[in-house]
Structure 1
Amino acid sequence: MRFNKLDLNLLVALNALLAERNISRAAEKIFLSQPATSSALARLRAYFNDELLVPSGRQLILTPRAKELVEPVREILMRIDTTIAAQPLFDPATETRTFTLLVSDYTTAVLIPPLLEALYREAPGMRIRLRDQTDRPAEVLEQGEADFLVIPSQYLAKEHPSAALFEEDYLCVTWEGNTRVRDRLTFDDYLACGHVIATFINTHTNPLATFDGWFMESFDVKRRVEVTVPSMSALPALVVGTDRIATVHRRLAERARESLPVKLWEPPPRIPRLVQMLQWHKHRTNDPAIAWIRDKIINAATLV
């Protein structure tokens, strides 16, 4: 189909190229060969009378014209997907589509089990793909590569709807044989201990702060970090046998105490409660499947 002499099929290729900035990755994303994708780029360059992507070292960068096209092209394709391609009827009992959720390992541990149990009963053919949040979660949601994002409230994308799931606070975890922290945990103790923290790296190799890390940095609390790990749920086990300390979600800390020789303490720097949120793309609010799964996620959150 053509519109103003533009083959609209090329918009799919253009969206992939603008997002990936790499011909090979864009080709994989839209299930085309690399030569076919290169050919699509050549046709797009001719239509827009612009190079769109130009080499810079070993990578491609967007021209100013290409940068202007990123949001409009993404918006057009999302609208097509949600108004034309979306199924008007939804029957969970017979649904076989795959739905993608961007979640942390903490969310996977506390929220996903009751959700999967409910979905298994009511939508046994539905497939769920859990994807981590280390690769620009808001952008992945924008690109339509995920159906839902579960994330703390301060990281929400303002332009998309959301719903509160549950609240969480934090506890400090130490080994029961810790020689620095015995009867109580003071602020001085907290700063004196070496810390085990969770740190995540996104696709641009930038560290992503956890909620407690974001709070500490915001209020200039300097922790002496001795161990970093890409997992919140692993933190309690990593203080065992040491004088180190970890700041952990309360639910994870209390579970860890059931199987590990650890003690739990209220954090001396009072950390605000985390509000865990569910977010979805604004153009998919009225999608029957998205609405149904959204309600199931919100219901599962009452069980955590």
Structure 2
Amino acid sequence: MSDAYTIDFAALRTLRLVHEKGSFTAAAEALGTNQSAVSYTVDKLRRALGDPLFVRQGGGIAPTERCTTVIASAIRLLDEFETLAAPPEFDPARARQTVTIACNYYERVLIAPHVIRRLRRDAPGLRVDLINSSAQGRLQLKRAEADLLIGPLRPDEDGYYCRNLLDDRYVCIADPDNPLCDKPLTLDSYAAARHAVVTYGGTWKSGYLQELEARRIELNTVFRLPSPAGIESIVAGTDVVSTIPRRLAGTLGPAVRILDCPCPAPFEIDLVWTTRTHASPMHAWLRGVIAAAVRAAYPG
């Protein structure tokens, strides 16, 4: 037990990163140090805990059962410590912290501008890093690579908190001269139309596509795009239609016509965070700012 009392929070943080990233090298990069320093820390933990913690498996490493147990407790300890270390009061006008928000194109277009304007007004010294979440937002929060996640992914695990920001559904966009604009789309005419499908790089599948698959309906896909960025330029002047969120379609202007989709697949955009930041006064304030900015921008 005397060796166990030599363990500090920095060592537990290193252990957590090695476990999450599955690599001493990746953990060293995240910590801004070298692999030797990470190896030294893990060796110290091995001696203190009387366990190898990680074993070689294939071309990588795998945690021992003891390591998995220690990690579960370490995560709780680290989250509680970071909360305790946070200043007891938060003054937005004097804030100098950096906050990392994981989100994607939809949120950067529809939500980020309204939030950033409020932050520049009320907390001009606060710095914000927006990073792509794709479908990895839950892991980015867990690994402390992001402080907040905004998107349609609501984790169902313990340790996550969620707040609804927006409701949305899917619509179709088409060139105004497309004959499909002359009458309501039926499921048959929708499936037969030529589609430009947004794949999100293969990391996320839109709800309408999931519903169509469940009904064994296949679209006539002629284009696949990794992002909805610039989708109006793809659709304008062609016979192609695309299915995108209604609120995003509303930003595209007169180049395209918005049509009701026969497979609207409603979804929610949530603000997600973890126990690591839940009790932080600064983060509580920021979550309130984000929610207020969204309510003001989209009251309906």
Q: Shared fold by TM > 0.5?
A: yes
- Cα displacement (A) at 1:106: 0.4
- Cα displacement (A) at 1:168: 1.7
Q: RMSD of the alignment, in Å?
A: 2.4
Residue 233 of structure 2 corresponds to residue 237 of structure 1: yes
2:41 aligns with 40
Greater CA drift, 31-40 or 224-233? 224-233
> Which whole-Å CA distance do the structure 1 matches of 2:80 and 2:3 have between them?
16
| Distance 1:94-1:39 versus aligned 2 partners, 3 A rule | same
2:86 aligns with 86
4+ residue stretches of structure 1 with deviation over 4 A? none
Would you say the 8 A contact 1:103–1:132 is kept in 2? yes
Q: Give the number of the structure whose residues are more often helix, by fraction.
A: 2
Would you say the 8 A contact 2:174–2:242 is kept in 1? yes
| Distance 1:214-1:128 versus aligned 2 partners, 3 A rule | farther
1:249 aligns with 245
**Alpha-carbon deviations, 1:195-214, whole Å to 9, x = none?**
2222235xxxx632233334
**Alpha-carbon deviations, 1:109-160, whole Å to 9, x = none?**
01111111011011000001111112521122223332211122x6334532
Gaps of 5+ in 1: none
**Alpha-carbon deviations, 1:44-77, whole Å to 9, x = none?**
3334444333334433333343333433222221
1:175 aligns with 175
Q: Percent identity?
A: 26
Residue 101 of structure 2 corresponds to residue 101 of structure 1: yes
- Cα displacement (A) at 1:295: 0.9
- Cα displacement (A) at 1:230: 2.7
Would you say the 8 A contact 1:192–1:224 is kept in 2? yes
Residue 265 of structure 2 corresponds to residue 264 of structure 1: no
1:66 aligns with 67
| Distance 1:75-1:164 versus aligned 2 partners, 3 A rule | same
Gaps of 5+ in 2: none
Greater CA drift, 169-178 or 87-96? 169-178
TM score, norm. by length of structure 1: 0.86
1:292 maps to which of 263, 274, 285: 285
1:14 aligns with 15
| Distance 1:247-1:27 versus aligned 2 partners, 3 A rule | same
1:194 aligns with 194
Secondary structure of 2:133's counterpart equals coil
2:124 aligns with 124
> Which whole-Å CA distance do the structure 2 matches of 1:157 and 1:137 have between them?
13
Would you say the 8 A contact 1:98–1:128 is kept in 2? yes
2:269 partner letter: Q
| Distance 1:236-1:155 versus aligned 2 partners, 3 A rule | farther
TM score, norm. by length of structure 2: 0.87
> Which whole-Å CA distance do the structure 1 matches of 2:277 and 2:155 have between them?
16
**Alpha-carbon deviations, 1:209-255, whole Å to 9, x = none?**
23333443444443243333332343333223433221111122122
Residue 271 of structure 2 corresponds to residue 278 of structure 1: yes
- Cα displacement (A) at 1:41: 2.4
Residue correspondence of structure 1 range 45-56 to structure 2 within 5 A: 45-56=46-57
Greater CA drift, 215-224 or 184-193? 215-224
